[in-house]
A and B are shown apart, each in its own frame.
Chain A
Amino acid sequence: MADHVDTLELREQFDTAEQQKDASTLGMWIFLITEVMFFGGMFLAYTVYRRAYPDVFAIASSSLNAVIGAINTGVLLLSSFTMVMAVRAAQLGQRKTIILFLTLTLFFGGMFLGVKAYEWNEKFQEHHIPGQAAFHLEGVAPSEQGHAQLFFSLYFAMTGLHALHMVIGVGLLSFLMIQAAKGTYSATYFTPVDVAGLYWHFVDVIWIFLFPLLYLIDRHLGKPL
Chain B
Amino acid sequence: MITTAAPEREHYLNASYGIKSWLLTKDHKRIALLYLATITFFFFLGGAFATLIRIELLTPTGGIVSSETYNKLFTMHGVAMVFFFLIPAIPATLGNFFLPMMIGARDLAFPRLNLLSWYLLVIGGLFALFAMLAGGVDTGWTFYTPYSTTYSNSWVIATALGIFISGFSSILTGLNFIVTIHRMRAPGMTWFRLPLFVWAHYATSLIQVLGTPVIAVTILLLFCERVFHIGIFDPALGGDPVLFQHLFWFYSHPAVYIMVLPAMGVISELISVYSRKPLFGYKFIAFSSVAIAVLSFLVWGHHLFVSGQSLYAGLVFSFLSYFVAIPSAIKVFNWTATLYKGSISYDTPMLYAFGFIGLFTVGGLTGLFVAALGIDVHVTDTYFVIAHFHYIMVGGTIMAYLGGMHYYWPKMTGRMYPEGWAKLSAVVIFLGFNLTFFPQFILGYLGMPRRYHVYPEEFQVLHVLSTAGASVLAVGYLMPMIYFVWSLRYGQLAPANPWGATGLEWKTASPPPVHNFDEPPVMTHEAYDYSTVIQEEIEVG
Contact = CB atoms under 8 A, between A and B. Distances in A.
Interface of A: 1, 4, 12-14, 19, 22-23, 26-27, 30-31, 33-35, 37-42, 44-45, 48-49, 52-53, 130-131, 144, 146-147, 149-150, 153-154, 156-157, 161
Interface residues of B, number: 45
Contact of A153 (B110, B230, B250): B230
A82 to B, nearest CB: 28
A196 B221 CA distance: 27
B179 A150 contact: no
B425 interface: no
Interface in B188-229: 209-214, 216-218, 220-221, 224, 228-229
A48 B212 CA distance: 21
Contacts of B228: 130-131
Contact of B515 (A4, A23, A45): A4
A141 B214 CA distance: 34
B213 A146 contact: no
B238 A147 contact: yes
B432 interface: no
Given A38-B216, A146-B236, 12 more contacts: A13-B106, A27-B176, A34-B209, A37-B210, A37-B217, A41-B217, A41-B221, A42-B217, A42-B221, A44-B247, A149-B230, A157-B221
Contacts of A130: 228-231
A49 to B, nearest CB: 7
Contacts of A27: 109-110, 175-176, 179
A34 B178 CA distance: 13
B171 interface: yes
Nearest to B175: A30
A129 to B, nearest CB: 9
Shortest 10 CB-CB distances between A and B: which pairs? A146-B237, A41-B217, A131-B229, A38-B213, A153-B230, A37-B213, A13-B107, A147-B238, A23-B183, A23-B109
A19 B218 CA distance: 36
Contacts of B179: 23, 26-27, 30
B217 A34 contact: no
A2 to B, nearest CB: 9
B330 interface: no
A131 B243 contact: no
Nearest to B515: A1
Contact of A12 (B106, B183, B236, B243): B106
A13 B230 contact: no
B239 interface: yes
B178 A30 contact: yes
B371 to A, nearest CB: 24
A131 B230 contact: yes
Contact of A19 (B183, B240, B243): B183
Nearest to A6: B26
